[in-house]
Amino acid sequence: MTIGPAPPPAVARTAAAPRPAPTQAGAASDSAIRVLICDDSAVIRSALARMLDSDPRIRLVARVANGQEAVAAVRREQVDVIVLDIEMPVMDGMTALPLLLQADPGVRVVMASTLTTRGADIAMRALRLGAADYLPKPSVAQINDNSFRTELLAKITGLGRLRRGAAVGHSAGQTLPHAARAPSAAPSLPATPLAKPRPGLARPPKLLAIGSSTGGPQALFTLVQSLGRDIAVPVVLTQHMPATFTAILAEHITKLDALPCAEARDQEILKPGRIYLAPGDRHLMIDDVGGSLRARLSSDPPENFCRPAVDPMLRTACVATGGRMLIVMLTGMGQDGLLGTKQVVEAGGCALAQDEATSVVWGMPGAIARAGLCHAVLPLPQLGAQVQRMLRGAA
């Protein structure tokens, strides 16, 4: 399998010094995901450590208070995933990020961002510079929230698995992009039984719909860049994300110099070649008004514990297009989008899913793949080209 190159990060990465061999004390934990916490708050470091220690798949190898200490720790220790705060004394997270990636180009960095516009912008910039994911950081009073713990563990275990898969791919001589460093059949992953792929589109689609969640922003950057600028239908997108972050995500997608992206506005007519993103805390619905597709924003109750959710977007788009649409389901936790995809496919539409080996969490794409709703299940770097072929009727 050949995986196309991803856009290089803006920071050049130099060859890293060989990692030290595990000590005898750490040999028993070789299979565990090795994590470093970097945060200037002792309270936050302790709370994160308790969460990580509760998961036997994870081994906490270091807790440090600033970026300078994190760089030194990565040069000293074998680390798979770093949880990196942004605002810190001595050396902040954005200054430390390129140095960490130089020290170990394969390490996965999760930026811990505050729920502010500035924090969201910094987190999205970090993703474009090589960070693997972001984590909205709650306040000290909210740090023990169970939903935060669930998201933290899901991202760390998923990124740790990708890191291990990338190491296998590298040793086999494969070239893997940063956003999806794992071969399509990494030996560390069990084979997942999939239903037989479905046939392609019977009619030209009127709409491209994308759903994503955990690990989604980095996957979206890769997908959008591979789509290019020549898309003859509107694109609608639901990414599970706090309200503060969605407008910033749209800005950073637009900066990729591919398809322009903006938060959808209520009653806006959808135009070809543009991406309409569900705003945080609002469902994005699609209506047919006089033969034109129109966005409708809704504050209806959350579905699948999410608002925005993928299912209402797909469900309403299916009615508006008569099933003439193509779905791309990217990495994400849970199974939001399963029921909507089923409705679309039964109406004559088509779905593609990101494969397990390149997904941070193979929940949403895995759900539609196992249900037999997919035309194809592909590594992330191959999805864009397949979308282009199907939209042009060459599938």
Residue positions annotated with a catalytic role: 213, 240, 336
The number of helix segments (H) and strand segments (E) in the chain equals 12, 14
What is the rounded distance in angstroms from the CA atom of residue 251 to the CA atom of residue 292? 25
DSSP per-residue string spanning 232-300: SS-EEEEE---HHHHHHHHHHHHTTSSS-EEE--TTPBP-TT-EEEPPTTSEEEEEEETTEEEEEEE-P
Q: Which amino acid is at 25?
A: A
Cα 288 to Cα 213, 284, 316: the distances in Å are 27, 14, 9
CB within 8 A of 141, min separation 6: which ones? none
Whose CA is closest to 112, among 145, 131, 85, 138?
85
Q: CB neighbours (10 Å) of residue 15?
A: 7
**CB contact at 8 A, 278 and 239:** yes
Q: Are strands 108-114 and 81-85 parallel, antiparallel or unpaired?
A: parallel
Q: Which residues contact 182 (CB under 8 A, 6 or more apart)?
A: 161, 162, 165, 166, 169, 176, 357, 358
Return the closest-CA partner of residue 380 out of 155, 223, 158: 223
User: In whole angstroms, what is the distance from residue 121 CA to residue 245 CA?
Assistant: 8
Q: Give the helix/strand (H/E) hosting 223.
A: helix 216-227
Distance of alpha carbon 359 from alpha carbon 273, whole angstroms? 26
